[in-house]
Structure formats: C-alpha cells, structure tokens
Amino acid sequence: MFDGPTPLSRRTARKPFKAVLINPYELGRQPFALAEPAAWLTRAGCDVTCIDLALDRLTPAALSDAGLVAIHVGMHTATRIAIEALPRIRELAPHAHLCLYGLYAPVNDALLRSLGAETILGGECEPQLCDLALQLARAATPAPRTDINLARIEFLAPRRDTLPPLKRYAHLELPDHDTRVVGFADASRGCKHLCRHCPVVPVYQGRFRIVPADVVLSDIRQQVAAGAQHISFGDPDFLNGPTHALKIVRALHREFPELTYDAIIKVEHLIRHADLLPELACSGCLFITSAVEAVDDRILGYLDKHHTAADFERAVQLLRDMGIAFAPTFVAFTPWTTLDGYVDLLQRLVALKLVAAVPSIQLAIRLLIPQGSYLLKLPDFDQLIRPFDPALLGYPWTHRDARVDTLQREIEAQVADATQCNRNRRDTFDEIWHLAHAAAGRAAPDLADVDLGQPVPHLSEPWYCCAEPTQQQLASF
C-alpha cells in the first residue's frame, strides 16, 4: 500500500507548492475525484485549490502561481469541456505542469498530449499526483508520463471544504415536491464487470477497489454536518462488493436513521442478491439506478450486459415489492436498433409503468464508442464505424437504416425543447411515443387513460452517459 511522499512542508520552508484540481462536469455531483486527491495533496503539504466548472469560472486568482493543474476527465462530456477549456487554462497558468486524470485520460492519451497535456493518469492516481507535485516543488522537470495504477492505495477522508457547498449541487426531488440536500459518496472505484460499452472497462479491466467503510462513513459524516439529507452513492456498481455495501448502509442507518440514499446496481446483481433488497429498503434506500440499456436480447448480448429483457422485468418487480423505486437508464439508439425495436422499448416502459421513472434524455441517447471501447473487439464491428473523430471524442457511426438516425435526431430535439420549456416526463414521453410510431409506420395507441406509473424520487440532474456540452457549460471558462 502506498503511503504517499514525505510532506512538502518538511522539505522546504518556501511558499507551499500550489496544486489546482479542476472538475469540468460530473452530473451535478460534488466530485469525490477532486475531494480525495485534494486530501492527499494537502497531507503532502500542497496549497490546494479546487475548481468545479459546473458551478465556478476559471479566474486568474484561482490559477495564479499554480505549479500543477490537474483536470479530472471521468466522463465523455467532462472531457469535451476540458478540451475546450485547455487554451484558457494555459493562458491563466502558463508555467503550470498540466495533468489530466480519470477514465477518459489514458484512452485519449495521444489526443490530450497533442493539446498540451504532460502527465496522463488513470485508475488509483492519488500517489502519482503526489509524486508529481513533489517533483515539481523541487523544480524538477518530470518526463512525459502515462500511467494507469490499479494497485490498492490508502484512502483518506476526502477534503470537501475547498469545493462549492452541497446546496449548489443537484438536489433530491420527491414525489410530493419536497426537496432534500444531497451528499455524494463513493464506496468503491472500478468494476468487476466487462460491459463492452462502459468507459470503466478499458481502464480497470474487471478490477474494483473498495474505499474502506470508515473512510466512507467519515466522508458522509462531514457532508451531513454540511447539510446533506440524502446520500447518492456514485460507485459504478454498489453491489460489486455486497458485504462491503451492507457494512456501510448498516452503519449509516444506525448513525443517521433519517438519512436516505440511492445507489447504482446492475440488473444482474439485483437478481443475484435479491435477498439483500429488504435490508436496503429498511436502511433508507429510496431508488436504484440500473443501466438496463436495451430490451432487445440481441443488443444486450452485443453489449455483454449479462442480463435479458426478462431479467429487467423481474428486477422491476423485485424492487417494487420492496418499495424501492427503479430508475433504468438506456442506450436507446445503437447500430443494431430497429424502428420496431425502439417502439418495443417504449411499450415496455408503458407496460411496466415506468414512464415517470425514466428521464426523457434516456430515450434519446445514442451509443458512444470511445477510444479503447471493448465494442471494438466485436467481430466485424469496424464495418459499422468510421475512423476516430477527435471532435466527437469517439468513433462515428451511421445506421444502415437512415430512418433510425432521423428518429434519433427528432427525439433529441424534442427532449431539448422539453427541457427548455420544463415539460414533464409524461408529456414528453407522449410526444416521443407518437414520433416513434409514425417513423415505424404504425398508429400510436392513445395513452390518455393508461396508467404510466407514479412520479418517483430522483435527483434534479438526470444521469446519462454522454451529451454535447451546453453553451452554459462552455461559458464557465
């Protein structure tokens, strides 16, 4: 286990070395991926500044005298924003060493280096960040480096006091229109599964690392003190380590019996660990997000999801029996999607009374194929895609049936308009329902008297895989 370098404060009496950590975007979450390295760098004696571009702007004051600027690129949208922000960062911190870290850093190594990145880190990168800061503080010139560290490391209680307050992040919205302040915690990183489209897989390759329960609870404790009334666990899969997860929720419920939480869990795990669901319900679990992705078993096979459409329906019932809301996510458009298949997806949501549980954006998402994607290992998959596009940050693809791409664009535009006009999920679904049936040449059944399900608890910012950065996001720098 790596214990970190000797603190910089012991090595020099000069002004503390300044490290700036930047998070471009993380679905309205207060980022663990800044708070944890901030704790490491602070322990090493650095003066640490954290900037969350979802809420704050790049300023000369924040970046002046920075010796290290490290940007977290943990998702597609964040990486797109980071690339746009790099010129401004270079302008404000021309002498700083530039590091990018996170899931999208090592797989985009060549592109990021061409844009000025000097160090690229993936996996458990806190020891490498501290080592880098130590070298820079000594006025050394580190060699360009790309490193994915999957070794077990020491986890510290995350340092969140340099981040914006929780009230500025996504909040919990309840069916009765009440809201709660949300805290964010990670009980593990990585994932033991190899879903072909998942960005975790190229970096962690089936490994996951737990954050010790005492660290997780210490982190939650400080967020409750800061006003958190609900905790959203950000693990790629909360039940990768079921014993670890139960240890945390039991201790959490004992100490904070009124605190609620949500987590991300695979359909496969919901079924395999169905015996654990009553305890999750009793300990305050309000809803579970699950990457269902498709209701076509053929597509699920291509994605290597290890569940079927029937499993999805079983998982819905299991959670419903426990009083836990189910929040499925989808990759609605893939090279294998058909018009009839898309209509079938909508019909399943109607039949399962899940319309109110699915954010409209989930019905517009198009499969992203980033660098390193395990989809590239599929036989003949190269025939479905075009060469890597740095602007897209992925491999473009065009559906063999042009009507499918047209429908996707129409639905994406409809969802964008609904978001801007603040239309509810049911009304937006009805619009998508008619668009999809028309595209398939079918009459759309009237949903006016159909029970589409009741509103469910959800975060104010919906979960999604990827999207174009908005002008508001790009304006943050």
Per-residue model confidence as pLDDT tens digits over 145-195:
999 999 999 999 999 999 999 999 999 999 999 999 999 999 999 999 999
Range 313-323 burial, b when 16+ CB lie within 10 A, else e: ebbbebbeebe
Average of per-residue pLDDT across 285-308: 98
Determine the residue type at 192.
K
Q: For residue 41, what pLDDT is reported?
A: 98
Per-residue pLDDT band for 468 (boundaries 50, 70, 90) equals low
Contact 246, 276 (CB under 8 A): yes
Average of per-residue pLDDT across 443-469: 85
Res 4 pLDDT > 60: no
Contacts 24+ apart (CB under 8 A), 251-257: 251/213, 251/217, 252/217, 252/220, 252/283, 252/284, 253/282, 253/283, 253/284, 255/217, 255/221, 256/220, 256/224, 257/284
Res 264 pLDDT > 90: yes
What integer best gives the mean pLDDT of the chain? 94
Res 434 pLDDT > 70: yes
Average of per-residue pLDDT across 234-246: 98
- Render pLDDT for 311-361 as a digit per residue (tens, 0 to 9): 999 999 999 999 999 999 999 999 999 999 999 999 999 999 999 999 999
Q: For residue 462, what pLDDT is reported?
A: 82
Res 91 pLDDT > 60: yes
Q: For residue 319, what pLDDT is reported?
A: 98
Q: For residue 15, what pLDDT is reported?
A: 84
